[in-house]
């Protein structure tokens, strides 16, 4: 899918680039053509006008020492009833060229004869031409064709055309290569996040399937024993309830993460005492810890912090939940909150099972569980730490885990303090 998109992008890009260059090239070519011919045409028209005004006499003087048609010098071809009767200067053109140079219209025209390019203008012969040019009464011209060599201009235009065409070809090649590279560069992160999303959806549906399957089985079992009382089926109902709870938590977590992905504004900052919040969450966990005979210690100093209180509450719940969940009976869990130079440091430490070193870089990945069978028993879905990391990052902070298998784990969160935060 991405290969096709990339190809489309590159081709569209190259096509637009090509069209723009082509339009620019055409405009430049015709502009130069106009500019170069304008001068020639003005010269021809000026001479025609002068000839009309002064006759041929004055013009002849200009060519007194010229024999051949030179660049910038005009040749005059005389015609009588469209039959060539003479030219001036006398050898301005080869007589063989004259077959192709027939009198034309009243507007300047471009003619190519034997590889030479001329600009011509045909006008009626002035009266003075008869006496000056030819003694033979029969050869008195009725039309004069002014001929000016424009080889230099045509050559310049040809060179320009070659330059434009090669420019377009080179630019097209560059645009295709650069476009392909740029498309690859800009599509790479999109492709990555698309793949991540696809994987996320796949994992989520997979996770949802298990509780749904358990529920279905339990309900089917209930149907098979219509005479049983609730008490008799309490185990199955308890299992189903647990799966519903699990599913509820999973759907809630999925919603939080997908909202986080869609860049929705989920963080609402306000100033509050973060030390107090830490103590409050620790107190909330006390009964759960007591159930497992875990000693839960809390050291938190009062500290003003500007952030999203509800989200930070969620973060502490995730970390404490893990600490208690992954610590065996009679273990220890400690939570602390203290002020550093420009940050608040929260540490959640336990004497639990620990995380293998190889797993440490992956624990913040979605659905990642170090010991899948064990965490499934604990009700874990592997989304807690992904949400924790998102909350910390949304506060521009960082989170890391230090762990030794069999000895315990410590999660250290550092949240930078804004200007308004300070110790109470």
Q: Which of 369, 390, 395, 414 binds ligand ATP (CB under 6 A)?
A: 369
Beta bridge partners of 408: 404
Residues 101, 109: Cα–Cα separation, whole Å: 11
204 touches ligand ATP (CB under 6 A): no
211 touches ligand ATP (CB under 6 A): no
Per the CB < 8 A criterion, the answer to whether 160 and 29 are in contact is: yes
- With respect to ligand ATP, which residue has the nearer C-beta, 157 or 278? 278
Q: How far is the CB of 188 from ligand ATP (least distance, A)?
A: 27
- With respect to ligand ATP, which residue has the nearer C-beta, 2 or 368? 368
Number of Cα atoms under 13 Å in the Cβ half of residue 334: 11
154 touches ligand ATP (CB under 6 A): no
Q: Which of 117, 240, 381, 421 binds ligand ATP (CB under 6 A)?
A: 381
384 touches ligand ATP (CB under 6 A): yes
Per the CB < 8 A criterion, the answer to whether 403 and 355 are in contact is: yes
- With respect to ligand ATP, which residue has the nearer C-beta, 273 or 350? 350
Residues 345, 409: Cα–Cα separation, whole Å: 16
Per the CB < 8 A criterion, the answer to whether 139 and 130 are in contact is: no
Stretch binding ligand ATP (CB under 6 A), from 57-65, 161-169, 177-185, 351-359 = 351-359
Q: Is 369 exposed, middle or buried (0-12, 13-18, 19+ CB in 10 A)?
A: buried
- With respect to Mg ion, which residue has the nearer C-beta, 79 or 326? 326
Q: Which of 40, 120, 322, 421 binds Mg ion (CB under 5 A)?
A: 322
With CB under 6 A as the rule, give the number of residues binding ligand ATP. 22
DSSP string, 120-177: EEEEEPPTTHHHHH-S-GGG--SEEEEEEE-HHHHHHHHHHHHHHHHHHHHHHHHHHH
Residues 106, 97: Cα–Cα separation, whole Å: 21
Beta bridge partners of 206: none
386 touches Mg ion (CB under 5 A): no
385 touches ligand ATP (CB under 6 A): yes
Pick the closest to residue 267 from 240, 235, 307, 214 (CA basis): 307
352 binds, among ligand ATP, Mg ion, none (CB under 5 to 8 A by kind): ligand ATP
350 touches ligand ATP (CB under 6 A): yes
Residues 162, 395: Cα–Cα separation, whole Å: 60
Residues 346-385 touching Mg ion, rule: CB under 5 A, are: 384
- Report helix, strand or coil for 417: coil
Q: How far is the CB of 380 from Mg ion (least distance, A)?
A: 5
Q: How far is the CB of 318 from Mg ion (least distance, A)?
A: 6
What count of residues does the chain have? 424
- With respect to Mg ion, which residue has the nearer C-beta, 126 or 380? 380
355 binds, among Mg ion, ligand ATP, none (CB under 5 to 8 A by kind): ligand ATP
408 touches Mg ion (CB under 5 A): no
Question: What is the binding site for Mg ion (CB under 5 A)?
Answer: 322, 384
Question: What is the binding site for ligand ATP (CB under 6 A)?
Answer: 318, 322-323, 326, 350, 352-355, 363, 368-371, 375, 380-385, 409
């Amino acid at each position: 899918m991405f290969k096709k998109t990339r190809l489309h992008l590159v081709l569209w890009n190259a096509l637009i680039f090509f069209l723009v260059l082509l339009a620019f090239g055409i405009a430049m070519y015709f502009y130069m053509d106009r500019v170069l011919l304008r001068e020639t045409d003005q010269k021809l028209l000026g001479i025609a006008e002068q000839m009309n005004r002064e006759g041929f006499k004055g013009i002849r003087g200009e060519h007194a020492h010229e024999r051949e048609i030179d660049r910038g010098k005009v040749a005059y071809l005389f015609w009588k009833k469209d039959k060539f009767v003479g030219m001036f200067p006398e050898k301005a053109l080869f007589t063989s060229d004259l077959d192709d140079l027939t009198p034309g219209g009243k507007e300047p025209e471009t003619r190519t004869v034997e590889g030479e390019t001329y600009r011509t203008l045909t006008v009626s012969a002035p009266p003075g031409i008869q006496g000056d040019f030819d003694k033979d009464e029969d050869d008195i011209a009725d039309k004069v064709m002014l001929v000016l060599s424009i080889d230099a201009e045509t050559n310049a235009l040809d060179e320009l055309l070659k330059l434009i065409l090669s420019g377009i070809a080179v630019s097209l090649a560059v645009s295709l290569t650069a476009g392909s590279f740029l498309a690859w560069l800009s599509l790479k992160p999109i492709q990555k996040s698309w793949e991540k999303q696809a994987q996320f959806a796949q994992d989520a549906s997979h996770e949802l399937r298990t509780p749904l399957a358990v529920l279905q089985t339990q309900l089917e079992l209930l149907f098979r024993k219509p005479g049983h009382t609730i008490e008799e089926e309490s185990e199955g109902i308890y299992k189903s309830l647990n799966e519903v709870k699990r599913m509820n938590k999973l759907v809630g977590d999925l919603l939080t993460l997908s909202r986080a992905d869609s860049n929705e504004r989920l963080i609402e900052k306000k100033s509050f005492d973060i030390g107090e919040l830490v103590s409050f969450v620790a107190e909330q966990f006390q009964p759960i810890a007591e159930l497992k005979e875990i000693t839960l210690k809390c050291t938190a100093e009062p500290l003003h912090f500007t952030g999203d209180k509800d989200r930070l509450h969620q973060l502490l719940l995730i970390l404490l939940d893990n600490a208690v969940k992954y610590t065996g009976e009679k273990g220890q869990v400690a939570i602390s909150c203290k002020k550093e130079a420009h940050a608040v440091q929260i540490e959640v430490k336990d004497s639990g099972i620990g995380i293998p070193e190889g797993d440490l870089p992956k624990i913040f990945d979605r659905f990642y569980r170090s010991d899948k069978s064990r965490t499934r028993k604990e009700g874990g879905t592997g989304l807690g730490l992904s949400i924790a990391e998102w909350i910390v990052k949304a506060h521009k902070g960082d989170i890391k885990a230090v762990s030794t298998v069999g000895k315990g784990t410590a999660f250290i969160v550092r949240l930078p303090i804004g200007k308004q935060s300070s110790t109470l």
